[in-house]
Chain A
Amino acid sequence: MLGGGYVGKILRVNLTDRTSKEEAVPVSMARDFLGGAGFGIKLLFDEVPAGTDPLGPGNKLIFSVGPLSGTSVPCASRMAVIARSPLTGAVGMCLSGGFFPAELKFAGYDALIVEGKCEKPMFVWIDGQKVSFRSADKYWGTTTGDCQSLIKDDLQDQSIRVACIGPAGEAQSKMAAIINERHAAGRKGLGAVMGAKNLKAIAVRGRKAVPIANAKAFAEARGRFMKAMKDSPVLYSAFAQMGTPMVVDVTWGLGIFASRNWSATGEWDPVPGLGIEANKARRIGKESCYMCPVGCSQLKLARGGRYAGSLSVPEFETLYSLGGQTGVDYLEAVIAADRLCDEMGLDTISTGVVIGFAMELYERGITGKEETDGLALKFGNHEAMVEMVRKIAYREGFGGVLADGVKEAAARIGRGSDRYAMHIKGLELPGYDVRGAKAHGLNYATAYCGADHNRGYAFQEIFGVPVPEAVDRFAVAGKGRLTKWNQDMRAATCDCPPMCAFLLDMVVPTTALQNTADLINSVSGLDLSPEEVLMAGERVNNLARVFNVREGFTRKDDTFPERILSEPIKGGPSKGQLISRDDLNRMLDEYYHERGWNAEGVPTRAKLTQLGLESAIVELEKIGLV
């Protein structure tokens, strides 16, 4: 029996027959998978068999909050959104913040499973325990901001929270995002999964407080956590004022701000146009997620030129992708493109990377104006960059070639263009040129979503935080062990509770497991040890790995684009660095060994037994891999 934190119910919605039902959350699922990404991946593994078409009715779209969401724990209004990714074919898991996650909890649910497909565009309206299916004819074609506003107006309640898709999701772009407020479950094409189901939006309103099992222990745990936040050397003093854009300056300093489709890292200076001072000059305020005292989302207003009046929250990754990758250091244009991506419902990272890819092809003469709808797709051409965002969203002209990500774009274009396609497992590379940060790179290569910085962020290499130990970012040895630690810690303390990941490295790097255990135990009445919390993270990473193995992924997919493997960084303080094939193989061997996986990267029977994942063993037995 769960005494609090968890509300104990999963809402299952079937779009095909327009039914819904509530199911109980087993205590064992809470203990073993905690919530968030853990719940989602467990449900995905159990319910979406191998070979399921990601854009077919058999795929499931799961929204999963956690035991801390909706409580007064700061920075815990997070939700994991999970499906089989149409972009990668692997597990697609994104986390989003804002107010929607807490609202879903107030409505009385720990998770929402969406299955089937609507015959016509619809939205699902969850009004507490009452679920209804409404026509979305009126909203189809709207941008994400307008869609949210219109639904609130029509339901006559401005406190409703809405998660929706924009035109890109309707067009089933495999780079489409799901947007709630200004937040995004951005990557891996989850917006396309929603669009393929003809589901424009999910609106939710809840009125129930989240029960707390042990109020005294909760107050103490929360107090310790908030004191740690206050004691952080960076959280309030810098991060709350500047947000993630400060990492532009950090990565410039390290020589790893990936630039011009990763061809000019260290040679192209992003700071004057995209760095801290440029962002400060356009900052007009900030926004917070539910119960967040930090407010890292920095609102930027484009102040001049043709983009004047655009307002958005360009994070570091967006400055990298729509700025660095395209060679555009005109922040007004990046703000405008960021806003356009949000309104169209596009992932900014994938969109920027695929446009940067197209620019390199154009500059190399692999494509020309006759193919690019007359646009001179040269690095730095901000007008072409912004226009391509719009074209991608509507699959218009050359935008249609790019709309399903860089891997498919290279396949469509051919002519050797795949050499310049910067992705892993089909997911476009995030910022940080990993040739100069090897553990960060190994995480990209092995993360279950493809190239996802958030699944095992190597803050040791980027910010020099010496936890669990100081590391040399250029070294190869030890990076397998470190990557396992980063991935399991991230899953256990950020992705599953779920909790804002920025607090892991800024606030609780040495106490994250105890902090997570104390908070979850006090709200729920569970008695998890820190070691059990960490094991839950390991369990989630292993189950996700088996899901991918079941879909045919092997060691050969744990790799990098050719450019990372064979072209050293050309300038700056990381000049000469690359990750050779030999480096990669050494890191993979160490990583698999540390994980208890075989040489092909398949979890062993012993490891899965240790983690209590007998169902995963059964699945691997079916395909003769264990």
Chain B
Amino acid sequence: MRVRAIMELAEVFGCREQTVALPDGARVTDLLVRLEARYGERFAGICYEPETRQISSQVQILVNGRNIAFLEGPDTRLSDGDDVFFLVPAMGG
């Protein structure tokens, strides 16, 4: 699947977009675990609330353009070819 990010998360990734392969049946939580394993604390510090380890309220995760809040949340299933976009706080325009 294609994983995209902007601003500080793109800096952590070292790129705006990358391909990540996950097993069939993987969920958004599995993707987060994979990315934390790869990018460590810098990723976790942006994407998780520090105390609860819930996904940060400042980060929106969209799967194929739709916010996972309107899908199955962190349990949203992912498939090959999906587009996952991390929207960090950014405004104005």
Contact = CB atoms under 8 A, between A and B. Distances in A.
Interface in A543-583: 572-575, 577
A573 B66 CA distance: 8
For B7, B67, B85, B91, the residue with the greatest tally of chain A CB atoms inside 10 Å of its CB is: B91
Contact of B91 (A432, A470, A475, A505): A505
B23 interface: no
A255 B7 contact: no
B40 interface: no
Contact of B92 (A247, A255, A470, A575): A247
A276 B7 contact: yes
A364 to B, nearest CB: 29
A244 interface: yes
A506 interface: yes
B67 A296 contact: no
Contact of A234 (B6, B65, B69, B89): B89
Contacts, number: 93
A382 interface: no
B8 to A, nearest CB: 8
Contacts of B89: 233-234, 237-238, 463
A460 B70 CA distance: 13
Contacts of A574: 65
A40 interface: no
B29 interface: no
Interface in B50-82: 58, 60, 62, 64-67, 69-70
B91 A502 contact: yes
Nearest to B71: A472
A506 B87 contact: no
Contacts of A572: 65
Given A249-B6, A276-B7, A472-B70, A573 B65 contact: yes
A476 interface: no
B66 A472 contact: yes
Given A472-B66, A573-B83, A249 B91 contact: no
Interface in A481-507: 502, 505-506
A431 B92 CA distance: 12
Interface range for B: 20 to 34
A468 interface: no
Mostly helix, strand, loop or mixed at chain A's interface?
A: helix
A70 interface: no
A276 B7 CA distance: 8
A250 B87 contact: yes
A246 B62 contact: no
A121 interface: no
Nearest to A501: B92
A254 B65 contact: yes
A506 B92 CA distance: 8
Nearest to A269: B16
B93 interface: yes
A249 B65 CA distance: 14
Given A244-B92, A463-B60, 8 more contacts: A247-B90, A247-B92, A250-B93, A254-B62, A254-B65, A463-B89, A464-B67, A506-B92
A-B complex: 4 closest residue pairs judged by Cβ atoms = A247-B93, A573-B65, A464-B60, A316-B93
24 contacts: A234-B90, A237-B89, A238-B91, A246-B6, A246-B91, A247-B90, A247-B93, A253-B5, A253-B85, A253-B87, A254-B65, A254-B85, A271-B16, A315-B93, A459-B91, A463-B87, A463-B90, A464-B60, A502-B92, A573-B64, A573-B65, A573-B85, A574-B65, A577-B65
